[in-house]
Amino acid sequence: MKRSRWYYVSLGIVYFFLLGPFLIIFAAAFGEESTLSFPPQGFSLNWFANVFATEQFIYSFWTSLQLGLLATAIALILGTPVAYALTHFHFPGEGLVETVFSLPILVPGLVIGLSMLQFFVLFGKFNIVSGLLIGHIAILFPYAVRVVSVSLRNLDPSVEEAAINLGANRLRTFFLIVLPNIRAGIAAAFILGFITSFNNVPVSVFLSGPGIQTLPIAMLSYMEYYFDPTIAALSTLLIIFSIVLVQAAERVLGLSQFV
């Protein structure tokens, strides 16, 4: 393909717009001044030190990490059988089931968060942690079901039939034959689910409570009181975290085909 002027202009604008702001965050994170100004003056690592000195961030980071891992795992454990049923059987209400599991993508996160908050308040008994966990599991279902379905559809059905023909029942066939062959899809679903949970704000904002905050919520509340570049430093770390995760996933699994 001949690279026309248009090639450079159009891609240049897009990448400048998408990634330029990230570079500005990186630069701002290393400034000396305690107010947020750009271009930054001087050079210091104080703000990075401040990130690790702020208990709120450390604590909420662990909360988000555990929440993300647990919610994704549960969503996959519950969602994989659904994906299996949708790809292997025809049954009445099939379309309805598919729609129900894609709803959490269609319904705005903020509405999900609000409705769950009111529901949990109404029926009491739920502590904050389980409320947050339940909310995150619900929003991860669509990813779990869809990504696992895609990889199940990519598996030649006669491979499973071969195992059954050779004497394996459905359950053994699933664990011995199907599961090892959809590992990449499961891993992709896991990464996608984890990122979604880790970055979620609209659901968490209603379901967080005293003492339990996810990292993005902690960042938002910090920003209400402080205007120093600590958030820029933390953002720098999180962006690098995303780059590493996305690159690794893309290289190993071809993540973009599942998004």
**Measured on CA atoms in the order 160, 165, 170, 173, is the torsion positive or negative?**
negative
CB nearer another protein, residue 22 or residue 59: 22
Q: Which of 45, 49, 53, 159 binds another protein (CB under 8 A)?
A: 159
Q: Which of 28, 140, 148, 253 binds another protein (CB under 8 A)?
A: 28
Q: Which of 54, 201, 226, 228 binds another protein (CB under 8 A)?
A: 201
The token pair that represents 155 in the structure block = 């598996």
Q: Which of residues 51-70 bind another protein (CB under 8 A)?
A: none
Q: Which stretch binds another protein (CB under 8 A): 42-50, 51-59, 65-73, 198-206?
A: 198-206
List of residues 6+ apart from 144 with CB closer than 8 A: 72, 75, 76, 78, 79, 80, 83, 189, 193
Applying CB under 8 A, does 188 fall inside the site for another protein?
Answer: no
Nearest distance, CB of residue 168 and another protein, angstroms: 5
Nearest distance, CB of residue 186 and another protein, angstroms: 13
Could you give the string, one character per residue 30-49, with x where binding to another protein holds by CB under 8 A and - elsewhere? -----xxxxx----------
Q: Which of 43, 95, 156, 211 binds another protein (CB under 8 A)?
A: 156
Q: Which of residues 228-247 bind another protein (CB under 8 A)?
A: 231-232, 234-236, 238-239, 242-243, 245-247
Nearest distance, CB of residue 55 and another protein, angstroms: 18
Q: Which of 19, 49, 53, 252 binds another protein (CB under 8 A)?
A: 19
Q: Which of residues 105-124 bind another protein (CB under 8 A)?
A: 106-112, 114-119, 122
Could you give the string, one character per residue 122-151, with x where binding to another protein holds by CB under 8 A and - elsewhere? x-----------xx-xx--x----------
Q: Which stretch binds another protein (CB under 8 A): 50-58, 65-73, 89-97, 146-154?
A: 89-97
Instruction: Provide DSSP, the chain.
Output: ----HHHHHHHHHHHHHHHHHHHHHHHHHT--SSS--SSPPS---HHHHHHHH-HHHHHHHHHHHHHHHHHHHHHHHHHHHHHHHHHH---TTHHHHHHHHHHHHHS-HHHHHHHHHHHHHHH----HHHHHHHHHHHHHHHHHHHHHHHHHHTS-HHHHHHHHHTT--HHHHIIIIIHHHTHHHHHHHHHHHHHHHHH--HHHHHH-BTTB--HHHHHHHHHHH--STHHHHHHHHHHHHHHHHHHHHHHHH-GGGT-
* 198 and 190 Cβ atoms separated by less than 8 Å: no
CB nearer another protein, residue 93 or residue 211: 93
CB nearer another protein, residue 69 or residue 220: 220
